Amino acid sequence: MFPVLESAEIERVRRFGKIQSYSTGEALATVGTVSGGLTIVLAGTVDVARRDEYGRHTAIVTQGPGNFLGELAQLAGRPALVDAYARESVEALIIPPDHLRALLIAEAELGERIMRALILRRIGLLETGAGGPVIVGRAGNGDVLRLEGFLQRSGHPRQQLDPETDPEAKALIDRFHVDVGQLPIVLCPGGQLLRNPSEAELARCIGLVGPIDPNRLYDVVIVGAGPAGLAAAVYAGSEGLSVLVLDCRAFGGQAGASARIENYLGFPTGISGIALMARAYNQAQKFGVEMAIPDEAVRLDSMGDAGNGTFTLKLSNNESARARSIVIATGARYRRLAVEGLASFEGTSVHYWASPIEAKLCGGQEVALVGAGNSAGQAAVYLAGHVSKVWMLARGADLAASMSRYLVDRVTSLPNVEVLTQTNVTSLEGHDGILEAIRWRQGKSGQEVRRPLRHLFLFIGADPNTDWLSGSGIDLDSKGFVLTGAGNGTSGQQLGTSRHGVYAIGDVRSGSVKRVAAAVGEGAQVVAALHADTLNPIKSSVKSASEGALVQK
């Protein structure tokens, strides 16, 4: 985590930075403020410390000559998560984010050591919550879970204080004169107080996302940061294209919800979806890809920018982004169960993810899980390690019809998972968003059963995220997936849509194989076409919505 660079290595990287001096006590980094970049100590010593919500410091490490200061925030030019002060006069080499990315690529072996240290340091900060916002609110509250889930999926440190059990939380509520009904509140590292913010407000406050330059013309804007979008970003970035990636939730997409992916090439022991996706996210940033997360695309202009071969994407926050090519990688969204009152339990008792947050919430209790696909199987296996019992409810007669054999074997071998086939949830009972009981009709007999359960997990498939393409001239199939390739794409490109310069990859594409590896493969493949567009901008990218056969959903 804290390697020492040799003098020959420091000499080699001097060209990437500039020398700066600091006097005793001067700050080299301040929580919540963007620092100059990766800082290699040439002379003197620097104290690095985490800061809590009261401004109290806890020492992390003291760095001397040959050590460097920084973690993943410095790769993307985001605000620092720790404070660093010169213990004595310090001379340091400051490498700004764009030069740091160039260094990581130019110096393969040294770059690997630096990148590894940046990642390990972030993991250390995640474990302690250092430098992240403090969420004050009741542990099981839906909004607390929403904000915690967003930060967890974004790989950002956080702390959560419950006013019912934590005296520090009570003190903070008094200090900021907050009514208990206004909880949760969030204290950002820069000192700002947010009252029950949206994910976008929180992300802006902690510097995870900034404004998009509406005049900048990117080679490609990729909509969706799931495996397909991130793969396209890594390959396009590594080929030198200028790339912007948007995602309306967090990076990782559906794969980020997977407790353990066991069939992705090269990971014989399996890997959690979020760990795999975090690697891809960091890798894309290493190649200079810009991320705007969370930012939602709401419209693709229907006519292009009159004949000059560029596209404008409108975002939900009224910003816009311009590009020579667009890659649609918006995947699919989870399906909801058709039972009355479902929405009122979402966020607190009805879950579409099985992450450590949900596992903690349900620890030691009995839960119900609906679904019979691989995602349901993985979630059941994961939850079984944390809860006392999983009632797995499947509509069909046999799990093997929809789940991989290895998962069927694993699920059925777990003593605390009971699989009920030919079973449908009929109603939910509870108050104030808290589920108290679930009723289901079971087996051939159709007998109705009532179980006192507080948590229901749903893994029942997904529909394409293509509503935002309405009126854009992009042809969809009868189920709403994007049509591509010969016969559909005007470009004749395999991943090309009905508009030149617009491509679709991954789960959102009609006929695609709904797997991480397939999405990643399409992300790599689309880059050849993007290159061609960049070298030969299309003069007329326009095919209006009225042209061709726009198949409505």
Ligand X SMILES: Cc1cc2nc3c(=O)[nH]c(=O)nc-3n(C[C@H](O)[C@H](O)[C@H](O)COP(=O)(O)OP(=O)(O)OC[C@H]3O[C@@H](n4cnc5c(N)ncnc54)[C@H](O)[C@@H]3O)c2cc1C
Q: Check: CB of residue 458 under 8 Å from CB of residue 352.
A: yes
Q: Check: CB of residue 452 under 8 Å from CB of residue 444.
A: no
Give the footprint of ligand X on residues 277-306 (CB under 6 A): 296-297
Smallest distance from the beta carbon of 165 to ligand X, in angstroms? Answer: 31
Give the footprint of ligand X on residues 94-123 (CB under 6 A): none
Which one of residues 39, 159, 254, 348 is an interface residue with ligand X (CB under 6 A)?
254
464: which 2 tokens? 């394409």
Residue 255 in the binding site for ligand X (CB under 6 A): yes
Which one of residues 121, 249, 322, 324 is an interface residue with ligand X (CB under 6 A)?
249
Quick one: which of 368, 377, 379 has its CA closest to 339?
Answer: 368
Helix 227-238 / helix 516-535 crossing angle, nearest 10 deg: 40
How many C-beta atoms lie closer than 10 Å to residue 56's C-beta? Answer: 9
Q: 136: Cβ–Cβ under 8 A, 6 or more apart, which residues?
A: 160, 161, 163, 169, 172, 173, 178, 183, 184, 185, 186, 187
Residue 223 in the binding site for ligand X (CB under 6 A): yes
Residue 70 in the binding site for ligand X (CB under 6 A): no
Residue 253 in the binding site for ligand X (CB under 6 A): yes
Closer CB to ligand X, 14 or 515, in the complex: 515
Which one of residues 7, 165, 263, 416 is an interface residue with ligand X (CB under 6 A)?
263
Closer CB to ligand X, 281 or 468, in the complex: 468
Which one of residues 197, 227, 489, 521 is an interface residue with ligand X (CB under 6 A)?
227
Q: Check: CB of residue 377 under 8 Å from CB of residue 401.
A: no
- Count of residues that bind ligand X according to CB under 6 A: 38
Q: 140: Cβ–Cβ under 8 A, 6 or more apart, which residues?
A: 348, 361, 434
Smallest distance from the beta carbon of 378 to ligand X, in angstroms? Answer: 5
Which one of residues 154, 330, 348, 498 is an interface residue with ligand X (CB under 6 A)?
330
How many C-beta atoms lie closer than 10 Å to residue 74's C-beta? Answer: 25
Closer CB to ligand X, 203 or 228, in the complex: 228
Neighbour-count burial of 476, counting CB atoms closer than 10 A to its CB (0-12 exposed, 13-18 middle, 19+ buried): buried
Residue 228 in the binding site for ligand X (CB under 6 A): yes
Closer CB to ligand X, 53 or 199, in the complex: 199
Give the CA distances from residue 313 to residues 221, 236, 337, in Å, rounded to whole numbers and listed in that order: 9, 19, 32
Residue 491 in the binding site for ligand X (CB under 6 A): no
Tell me which stretch binds ligand X (CB under 6 A): 87-95, 133-141, 328-336, 388-396: 328-336
Count of alpha carbons within 13 angstroms of residue 204, beta-carbon side: 11
Residue 248 in the binding site for ligand X (CB under 6 A): yes
Smallest distance from the beta carbon of 528 to ligand X, in angstroms? Answer: 18
Return the C-alpha torsion angle 506, 509, 514, 517, nearest 10: -30
Quick one: which of 350, 400, 335 has its CA closest to 373?
Answer: 400
Tell me which stretch binds ligand X (CB under 6 A): 46-54, 73-81, 218-226, 440-448: 218-226
Residue 246 in the binding site for ligand X (CB under 6 A): yes
Give the CA distances from residue 467 to residues 30, 167, 464, 471, 553, in Å, rounded to whole numbers and listed in that order: 42, 46, 8, 9, 9
CA distance 150 to 127: 16
Residues paired with residue 40 on neighbouring β-strands, in sequence order: 68, 93
Which one of residues 272, 465, 510, 541 is an interface residue with ligand X (CB under 6 A)?
465
Closer CB to ligand X, 345 or 459, in the complex: 459
The values of phi and psi at residue 455, to 5°, are: -135, 135
Smallest distance from the beta carbon of 262 to ligand X, in angstroms? Answer: 6
Give the footprint of ligand X on residues 502-531 (CB under 6 A): 506-508, 514-517, 519
User: DSSP code of 347?
Assistant: T
Smallest distance from the beta carbon of 507 to ligand X, in angstroms? Answer: 4
User: DSSP code of 484?
Assistant: -
Closer CB to ligand X, 111 or 489, in the complex: 489
CA distance 73 to 204: 14
Dihedral sign for Cα atoms in the order 7, 9, 10, 15: positive
Which one of residues 226, 464, 473, 501 is an interface residue with ligand X (CB under 6 A)?
226
Binding mask 332-351 for ligand X (x = CB under 6 A): x-------------------
Residue 495 in the binding site for ligand X (CB under 6 A): no
Tell me which stretch binds ligand X (CB under 6 A): 65-73, 90-98, 372-380, 412-420: 372-380
Closer CB to ligand X, 247 or 358, in the complex: 247
Closer CB to ligand X, 257 or 390, in the complex: 257
Residue 149 in the binding site for ligand X (CB under 6 A): no
CA distance 416 to 464: 34
Closer CB to ligand X, 177 or 405, in the complex: 405
Residue 276 in the binding site for ligand X (CB under 6 A): no
Residue 358 in the binding site for ligand X (CB under 6 A): no
Residue 232 in the binding site for ligand X (CB under 6 A): no
Residue 378 in the binding site for ligand X (CB under 6 A): yes
- One DSSP character per residue, 364-406 reads TSEEEEE--SHHHHHHHHHHHTTSSEEEEE-SSS-GGGTS-HH
Residue 331 in the binding site for ligand X (CB under 6 A): yes
Token look-up 């799931």 returns 226
Residue 236 in the binding site for ligand X (CB under 6 A): no
Binding-site ranges for ligand X (CB under 6 A):
223-229, 246-249, 253-255, 257-258, 261, 263, 296-297, 329-332, 374-375, 378, 459, 465, 468, 506-508, 514-517, 519
